[in-house]
Homo-oligomer: A and B are copies of this chain.
Amino acid sequence: MKKLMNAPESILNDALQGFAAAHQNIISLDQTARTVFRRQPKEAGKVALVSGGGAGHEPMHVGYVGRGMLDAACAGEIFSSPTPSQIGKAAQAVDRGAGVLFVVKNYAGDIMNFEMASEIHGSNAICVVTDDDVALLGRSRSNGQGSRGVAGTVVVEKIIGAAAERGASLEECAEIGRQVNAATGSMAAALRACTLPASARPTFLLGEGEIELGVGIHGEIGRERTAVQNADELAEIFVQSIFAKLKPDRNEPLLLLCNGLGATPAMELWSFYQAGRRRVEARGCKVERSLIGNFCTALDMAGASLTITKLNERTMSLWDDPVETPALRW
- Any B CB within 8 A of the CB of A18: yes
* Contact between chains at A230 and B2 (CB < 8 Å): no
Q: Confirm or deny: A22 has a beta carbon within 8 angstroms of a beta carbon on chain B.
A: yes
User: Which of A274, A290, A304 has the most chain B CB atoms closer than 10 A to its own CB?
Assistant: A274
A243 within 8 A of B: no
Residues of chain B with a CB closer than 8 A to A63's CB: 266
Across the two chains, which residue of chain B brings its CB closest to A266?
Answer: B58
A59 at the interface (CB under 8 A from B): yes
Smallest Cβ-Cβ distance to A60: which chain B residue: B266
B302 touches A271 (CB 8 A): no
Min Cβ gap A197→B in Å is 8
Q: Is A64 an interface residue (CB 8 A)?
A: no
Q: How far is the CA of A159 from the CA of B59 in the complex (A)?
A: 26
Contact A271 B7 (CB under 8 A): no
A168 at the interface (CB under 8 A from B): no
A265 with B299, Cβ < 8 A, contacts A21-B290, A271-B11, A274-B18 known: yes
A319 to chain B, nearest CB (A): 13
- By beta carbon, the residue of chain B nearest A300 is B265
The yes or no answer to A16 lying at the interface (CB within 8 A) is: yes
Tell me the interface secondary structure of chain A in the complex. Answer: mixed
Q: Is the CB of B270 within 8 A of A58?
A: yes
With contacts A4-B231, A5-B230 known, is A18 near B292, CB below 8 A? yes
Cα–Cα distance between A99 and B6 once the two chains are bound (Å): 49
Assess whether A104 is interfacial by the CB under 8 Å rule. no
* Interface bits A258-291 vs B (CB < 8 Å: 1, else 0): 1000111111111111110100000000010011
Q: Is A56 an interface residue (CB 8 A)?
A: yes
Contact yes or no, A21 B274, CB < 8 A: yes
Q: Are A271 and B2 in contact (CB under 8 A)?
A: no
Restricting to A7-47, which residues have a CB under 8 Å from any CB of B? Answer: 7, 11-12, 14-19, 21-23
Determine if A61 is an interface residue (Cβ-Cβ < 8 Å). no
Report how far A208 CA is from B3 CA in the complex, Å: 11
Interface assignment of A232: CB less than 8 Å from any CB of chain B: yes
- Among B23, B55, B266, B273, contact of A267 (Cβ-Cβ < 8 Å): B55
- A94 touches B (CB below 8 Å): no
- Does A18 lie within 8 Å of B273, measured CB to CB? yes
* Chain A contact residues, CB within 8 Å of chain B: 2-7, 11-12, 14-19, 21-23, 55-56, 58-59, 63, 191-192, 208, 211, 228, 230-232, 234, 258, 262-275, 277, 287, 290-292, 294, 297, 299-300, 302-304, 329-330
